[in-house]
Amino acid sequence: MNDPGTRSGGGAEGMEPLHSHFASREQQREATTLGMWLFLATEILFFGALFLAYAYVRWSFPAVVQQASRHLELVMGTINTGVLLTSSFAMAVGVLFAEQGRHRAAAKALAATALMGVAFLMIKGSEYAAVIHEGFLPGFTANLEPVSRPGGGYAGLLSEGGGPVPGQEELFFWLYFVMTGIHAIHVAIGVGMLTLLAWWMRKPHPASRASLNTVRNAGLYWHFVDLVWVFLFPLLYLAGHRFQP
Amino acid sequence: MNALPATRREPPEEANYLSAHTLRSWLLTTDHKRIGLLFLFGIIGYFLIGTAAAALVRLDLVTPQGDLLSAEMYNRMFTLHGVVMVWFFLIPSIPSVLGNFVLPLMIGARDVAFPRLNLLSWYLFMIGGGVTLYAILAGGVDTGWTFYTPYSTTYANPQVVTMVAGIFINGFSSILTGLNFIITTHKLRAPGLTWFRLPLFVWTLYATALILVLATPVLAMLLLLVAVERFWGIGVFDPAQGGDPILFQHLFWFYSHPAVYIMILPGMGVVSELVTCFARKRLFGYPFVAGASVAIAVLGFLVWGHHMFVSGQSIYSGFVFSLLSYMVAIPSAIKVFNWTATLYKGSISFETPMLYAIGFIGLFTAGGLTGLMLAATAVDVHVSDTYFVVAHFHYIMVGGMVLAFMGGLHYWWPKITGRMYPDLAGRLAAVVTFIGFNLTFFPQFVMGYLGMPRRYHSYPEEFQFYHILSTAGASILGVGYLLPVVYFLWSLKRGKRAPANPWDARGLEWTVASPPPTHNFHDIPEGIRPPYDYPTPATPPFTSPS
Amino acid sequence: MKFPLLPDQASLGAGEVDRLMLLLLGVTVFFLLVTAGPILVFCFRYRRGNRVNRVLDPRGGFRLELTWTLIPLTIALGLFGASAAVYFRQRHPPEDAIEIHVIGRQWMWKVQHPQGKREINELHLPAGVPIKLLMTSQDVIHSFFIPAFRMKQDVLPGWLTTQWFVPTKTGSFPLFCAEYCGTDHSRMVGHVTVMPRPEYVQWLTTGVQEESPALAGERRFRQLGCSGCHVGQSAVRAPALNGVFGSVVPLQGGRTVIADERYLRDSILLPNKEIVDGYAPMMPSYQGQISEEELLALVAYLKSLGAGSAGNAPGVAAPVFAPASRQEGGAP
């Protein structure tokens, strides 16, 4: 292997290994932090395309979006929002503990964050189940063949006489599943990352992989994921719940 | 025991980055130099596939009836050509091969910022390419590389999703490379190497990396939407469901126009290196060339609608995108003028890399100027979707980028391999390539204005003359591509051993041995000099460190 | 073997486009000379080993940079202006243009003249008369391209697009599909035949006589039951349609929209997309029940309804909106 390996830190706590191509630990830290920020910028573009598709659907069919949004599980969504915001608090606390050198406390805070992430996913799972049970899973065909379609839509979705045209609610629900689904994947990745970090930090003298910088970067990622939800929630769940005098 | 004359005995090679020979040392490497070579092997393979497809297309077009291939096969071939050449050859070519190899050396670093991500980038490239190849073998796709909906989502054959998945995976390779380059340039420069002392190649790699990280995610999401639409039959892009096929085009071109700047900016950086070295002169207007590179990247995000002038978008979009497209030509013009001025009062020699550089400047300028024609909405209405556009982008991608890639490869070959190639053979290949290229693509401008549409398997007789010229040129171009393969391979065994600085060039990469040691520098360089400080009669050699 | 260099110039606009192209070609050649010329000269004069004066001017080149930035910028802006003018004219058809319907589908072009006569892969036109094509697709995106007129326009499923021209030269000119649409994309070709006006009129009246689109549209209007709500006394309040085409329609939510072909078509297929202010969302959608030809026919019929025609009983379902002056509501 050509990588000559890394140099371990001295006895000080939280010293991550210094990879040989970096001149100093400070350079390494700055590079990894900047790398995380840049990665989050790409994520903004990634989600941005979905938000653009949402904006298009919302602009084209405002009434339909309002109506379809009312079929989402608002209570579960609100609870989830609370869970995720609290998890961000726990993450921030974890970073604070890590800065103070209290590694076991930090590990507990990170574990709590991960647990709340799991709770988020479980609530989301049951939310999906509820929405699917009511028949709003768009276009599910048994054998996933591409459907060629000379002009029909799908039956069975809000197609009362005189109501919205079959097809447009599907756009909304499809957006709902794709946007929250991709977000959930990001949450799951975050949960995995935080669990690993918490494991590494559980000893008083932590394994050198779980440095303060790593914890901070994980925090950046987690807060970003939370922030995406803060935008998703009102756009998807609150679109139909305007209080009119 | 030695009957050989003394001169044939060569000293043993010093230990360098190529010394370890095991498969594991290659497949698990985190050395940017090896990863650059791994990418080179990959893109050569894909280039062969893309060229084979092009050869079949051009052969089929010799006769108006299209006797060689069936319509379905022809359509799959031009799609294959576009997909492979864009995503698996051009986009990774200079950044992932030459950039990976040279960037850390140029800035005095031992590696890129995230070497393991670099290796991951290569694996994603190979896996994405593998999935795409599978799609081709499993029946192929005939949508064109542009995948317009609703044809691609509703009517084309099922391999669309597989191919889209391959491109999706490859997209993350691009993003990781871009991420690596940006952080490396920000954080790993040697002490004293300020931004305005960097070689231009670094500036253009940086600008390219900006596009890579910001544009590719949009493509990734779009590909995801296309796949989901095919699986579940939901139409964000399907008008029968109230969806909008123009939305697809907006999202697609929002990525793909910046992508074409990915496919030229690194070439411009290489040309800056070549012109300064072989004219032995500082780059004229360095800050302007650097700024123009970034300006091209930024402005490149604002012009995507010029691919959609006849799509049905509004007249106001037509005006705005036309104006912005004229604007984006200006920084490129600035660069061409500065290269020309660099030659003024230089001391010019014409080794192979320089021939490619001069060829680039001529062909890129010509191709770019035809871009002005396309920016004129009224003209574009006529020539859109004809061979005029095909000629335009081949002038830039082949006449520009491929020539720059060849020039860069010939320039850094001694550094990469430690061997020299016969320069005469190189010059011959450059000239043959230039002639073959022009014969292939210039007739296509004429054909396009006459109305010959793109992606046509058969065509009316009045175009046959031009198609024959074009195919003849393509065969000459093929010879031009083949020659370097021959003498490069020859050089690996029989080429003269290269010194550290065979061209007497300036730049940190020339201060290390050829091939470089694994860790690049024994000590990180200090006391950085200004870029391209070649001595001139009037200015004494630069002395003060300051 | 022939090798033409320029396509026929067979329309009023074609000459304009060619002149613009000539201007652009001139600019191209100019810049090529301005760069290639010096490069070649420098490559000879400053070849390594040549003994020439290489002493450089120590002053910076800022003024030079400024010059060769501003001059191309000015030229670029001038080119934009020239092309924008031509493009503007290309997008504004005159009001009295003859409207011909075009429907593209894999892999043929279906054409229908306003009198009803139909053609496939052929388009007969009178010389000297402005023609506006109203186009759509039945399946995927195609593009209707007539090189001799220097005009093309994509046709999209679910959308109406238009292009216009004035043919000037008689003869037969190629017609191509210019957007890849599947296996036989290169076979989706045909001819545009321009004839003197009297011959065109005569041609229209020979052969199989078909119903004009407007008449066919009226027939369908009644068959589909549209008149049940939109005409005369009706239990269901629906906007009256006299003079609807070109008028300004107030929508729910405060927006207004001009009732162009797109609006009429969307109102039939997606009636809840833009609901007229003051009306309930009760109209059912006809998606999947009407073909593209019938849609074009219905739109043609609705366009023929001037204010006060098609039997609106006084006092019932009076028009909510006043028809604005009839403007050209061409699709984008």
Length of chain B: 546
Of A64, A162, A167, Cβ closest to residue C284: A162
Domains of chain A (ranges plus CATH)?
47-137+164-245 (1.20.120.80)
| Test the C interface: residue of A157, A165, A172 with most C CBs within 10 Å | A165
Residue B287 has pLDDT above 80, yes or no: yes
Of B440, B413, B340, which is closest to residue B57 (Cα–Cα)? B440
Of B110, B218, B233, Cβ closest to residue A149: B233
- Tens-place pLDDT, residues B156-208: 677 888 999 999 999 999 999 999 999 999 999 999 999 999 999 999 999 99
The pLDDT of residue A161: 28
- Tens-place pLDDT, residues B44-57: 999 999 999 999 99
Is residue B131 a contact partner of residue B165, using CB atoms and an 8 Å limit? yes
Higher per-residue pLDDT: A151 or B4: B4
Of A62, A63, A165, Cβ closest to residue C285: A165
CB contact under 8 A, B115 and A19: yes
The pLDDT of residue B221: 92
Task: Report the C-alpha gap between C66 and B334 in whole angstroms.
Answer: 10
Of B190, B20, B15, which is closest to residue B110 (Cα–Cα)? B190
The pLDDT of residue C323: 29
The pLDDT of residue B541: 44
How large is the angle between the packed helices B352-375 and B387-396, nearest 10 degrees?
Answer: 140
| Test the B interface: residue of A3, A21, A213 with most B CBs within 10 Å | A21
Task: Report the C-alpha gap between C186 and B57 in whole angstroms.
Answer: 14
Residue in this structure with the two tokens 């292997």, named with its chain if needed: A1
CB contact under 8 A, C273 and A153: no
- Tens-place pLDDT, residues B374-406: 999 999 999 999 999 999 999 999 999 999 999
Q: Chain B residues with CB inside 8 Å of A153's CB?
A: 240-241
Length of chain A: 245
Calculate mean pLDDT across residues B469-497: 95
- B93 — pLDDT class (breaks 50, 70, 90): very high
The pLDDT of residue A134: 76
Q: Are strands C122-126 and C131-137 parallel, antiparallel or unpaired?
A: unpaired
Task: Report the C-alpha gap between B67 and B49 in whole angstroms.
Answer: 22
Q: Which CATH number fits the domain B34-511, given the four candidates 1.10.10.10, 1.20.210.10, 3.40.50.2300, 3.30.70.1560? A: 1.20.210.10
Classified as helix, coil or strand, A24 is coil
The pLDDT of residue B538: 54
The residue ranges of chain C whose pLDDT is under 70 are 1-2, 233-236, 307-332
Q: Are strands C190-195 and A18-19 parallel, antiparallel or unpaired?
A: unpaired
CB atoms closer than 10 angstroms to residue A199? 14
CB contact under 8 A, C42 and B340: yes
Torsion angle defined by CA atoms of residues B396, B400, B402 and B403, in that order, rounded to the nearest 10 degrees: 150
Beta bridge partners of C171: C194
Is residue B242 a contact partner of residue A168, using CB atoms and an 8 Å limit? yes
Residue B489 has pLDDT above 50, yes or no: yes
Please tell me the distance in Å from C137's CA to the nearest CA on chain A: 12
Residue B92 has pLDDT above 60, yes or no: yes
Calculate mean pLDDT across residues B436-451: 96
Name the fold adopted by C213-304: Cytochrome Bc1 Complex; Chain D, domain 2 (1.10.760)
Residue in this structure with the two tokens 């604002």, named with its chain if needed: B302
Same fold, C1-48+93-210 and C213-304: no
What is the average pLDDT score of chain A?
A: 78
CATH number of C1-48+93-210: 2.60.40.420
Task: Report the C-alpha gap between B337 and C34 in whole angstroms.
Answer: 9
Q: Which of C63-67's residues contact partners 24+ apart within 8 Å by CB, and which partners?
A: C64/B285, C64/B341, C65/B285, C65/B288, C65/B334, C65/B338
- DSSP assignment, residue C330? -
CB contact under 8 A, C16 and B369: no
In this structure, which amino acid lies at residue B546?
S
Is residue B327 a contact partner of residue C62, using CB atoms and an 8 Å limit? no
Look at phi and psi of residue C260 and say left if phi exceeds 0, alpha if psi is from -120 to 50, else beta.
beta
CB contact under 8 A, A152 and B30: no
Of B155, B443, B160, which is closest to residue C184 (Cα–Cα)? B155
Task: Report the C-alpha gap between B281 and B339 in whole angstroms.
Answer: 11
Q: Which of A33-37's residues contact partners 24+ apart within 8 Å by CB, and which partners?
A: A33/A213, A33/A216, A33/A217, A33/A220, A34/B183, A34/B186, A34/B187, A35/B113, A35/B114, A35/B179, A35/B183, A36/A217, A36/A220, A36/A221, A37/A220
Sequence-distant (6+) residues with CB within 8 A of A210 are A14, A103, A197, A200, A201
Task: Report the C-alpha gap between B37 and C284 in whole angstroms.
Answer: 63
Considering only A224-233, B5-14, C193-202, C306-315, which range has the smallest mean pLDDT?
A: C306-315
Total CB pairs under 8 A between chain B and C: 264
Is residue B342 a contact partner of residue B277, using CB atoms and an 8 Å limit? no
The pLDDT of residue C318: 24
CB contact under 8 A, C1 and B465: yes
The pLDDT of residue A163: 32
Of A35, A49, A151, Cβ closest to residue B251: A49
- A243 — pLDDT class (breaks 50, 70, 90): low
Beta bridge partners of C192: C123, C173
Classified as helix, coil or strand, A244 is coil
Beta bridge partners of A156: none
How many Å is the maximal CA-CA distance in chain A? 75
C272 touches chain B (CB under 8 A): no
CB contact under 8 A, B343 and C43: yes
Of B29, B50, B24, which is closest to residue B39 (Cα–Cα)? B29
H or E element in which residue A109 lies: helix A103-133
In this structure, which amino acid lies at residue B520?
N
- Tens-place pLDDT, residues B288-321: 999 999 999 999 999 999 999 999 888 888 999 9
Of B226, B111, B213, B120, which is closest to residue B163 (Cα–Cα)? B226
CB contact under 8 A, A153 and C287: yes
Beta bridge partners of C152: C145
Q: Chain A residues with CB inside 8 Å of C275's CB?
A: 63
Q: B: neighbours with 3+ CB pairs under 8 Å?
A: A, C
The pLDDT of residue B12: 56
- Tens-place pLDDT, residues A103-122: 889 999 999 999 999 999 99
Task: Report the C-alpha gap between B183 and B87 in whole angstroms.
Answer: 23
Classified as helix, coil or strand, B439 is helix
The pLDDT of residue C208: 73
Classified as helix, coil or strand, C145 is strand
Any alpha helices (H) in B108-199, and if so which ranges?
115-137, 159-187
Q: What residue spans define the domains of chain C?
A: 1-48+93-210, 213-304
CB atoms closer than 10 angstroms to residue B201? 25
Please tell me the distance in Å from B241's CA to the nearest CA on chain A: 5
Question: According to the 3-state scheme, what is the secondary structure of B502-528?
Answer: CCCCCCHHHHCCCCCCCCCCCCCCCCC
- DSSP assignment, residue B305? G
The pLDDT of residue C326: 27
Task: Report the C-alpha gap between C187 and B131 in whole angstroms.
Answer: 32
The pLDDT of residue B139: 83
Q: Are strands C122-126 and C190-195 parallel, antiparallel or unpaired?
A: parallel
Task: Quote the distance between the C-alpha of residue C91 and its chain's center.
Answer: 7
Task: Report the C-alpha gap between C113 and C133 in whole angstroms.
Answer: 10
In this structure, which amino acid lies at residue C251?
L
Q: C: neighbours with 3+ CB pairs under 8 Å?
A: A, B
